[in-house]
Structure 1
């Protein structure tokens, strides 16, 4: 099992940072070889299922995630979204959080616990490093693009 924590500060209001990191289809634009679909499409709420399909051709797999916590930021209070991974290949959870940061900026946290079925724990370090790289780049892109 690989645990990752990504932290960023962005010159954005809380609600705008939240909007940018929870527009699920944009995650597919930010993560290579990935397409994202959402059911139901809008608005996100508890029970929404986000499916990231990654790979090429027959080497593709679905990473279905169910939104189990949906607390958008309100009145300056932090926002939190938790997704439970429900797939046959990727297991674990992810949390996206926005909170007030220094100097009027927004602090964004992306926490994730990832387990790849059939992958031995010996390779957790590789999963951790590759996930930090891929998701770190995706988070940067999501926060930069309106």
Structure 2
């Protein structure tokens, strides 16, 4: 297992940050190369399943997730069920006051491809982390201007 944890401060109340974070249909507006769809359930309760395609020009992979923890407006925990991504991820929002919050993204992942994946992770990790940090920066801007029902 490999663990990752990154966060970003958001100039928005925790409730707004939570709503922006869990607006799955719009996650592609801030998450680099990703499009998310609710495939089972309402996307806002334990047992709901999500499908996220990550890639460029149709080349990539699908990450299927099941929501295993739903604690609005604080935390959503998912279990990754895909062939490439397996493990547990958590999206956590911390309240820092009336107009500030922090979004924390954490993952405990089983690396794919066995020994090859473990050997390749040190090479792939910097690019993955760079993309994640870029996406979190975009998320902060997205959440700061978020309004419900916006398309």
* TM-score normalised to structure 2 length: 0.79
| Whole-angstrom CA distance in 2 between matches of 1:43 and 1:120 | 31
CA RMSD of aligned residues (A): 2.2
Do structure 1's residue 112 and structure 2's residue 117 form an aligned pair?
Answer: no
Matched residue, 2:149 = none
- In structure 1, list runs of 5 or more residues that go unmatched: 74-78
Q: CA deviation at 1:102?
A: 6.5
Q: CA deviation at 1:89?
A: 1.4
**33-42 vs 20-29, which deviates more?**
33-42
Structure 1 residues 70-129: Cα deviation after superposition (integer angstroms, max 9, x where no partner) = 0002xxxxx011011000111112111111227852122111123342143122223432
- The total of aligned residue pairs comes to 140
Matched residue, 1:63 = 63
Whether the aligned pair in 1 keeps the contact of 2:50 and 2:66 (CA below 8 Å) is: yes
Task: Find the partner of 2:132 among 118, 122, 135.
Answer: 135
Q: CA deviation at 1:143?
A: 2.4
Matched residue, 2:122 = 125
| Whole-angstrom CA distance in 2 between matches of 1:37 and 1:103 | 31
Q: CA deviation at 1:52?
A: 0.8
Matched residue, 1:97 = 92
Counting only pairs closer than 5 Å after superposition, residues 1-146 of structure 1 correspond to structure 2 as 1-40=1-40, 42-55=42-55, 56-57=57-58, 59-73=59-73, 79-101=74-96, 105-118=100-113, 119-145=116-142, 146=146
Q: CA deviation at 1:134?
A: 1.6
| Whole-angstrom CA distance in 1 between matches of 2:139 and 2:24 | 10
- Go from structure 1 to structure 2 and tell me whether the alpha carbon gap of 1:22 and 1:103 turns closer, same or farther (over 3 Å shift): closer
* TM-score normalised to structure 1 length: 0.82
- In structure 2, list runs of 5 or more residues that go unmatched: 147-151
Whether the aligned pair in 2 keeps the contact of 1:27 and 1:138 (CA below 8 Å) is: no
Q: Give SS of 1:82's match.
A: strand
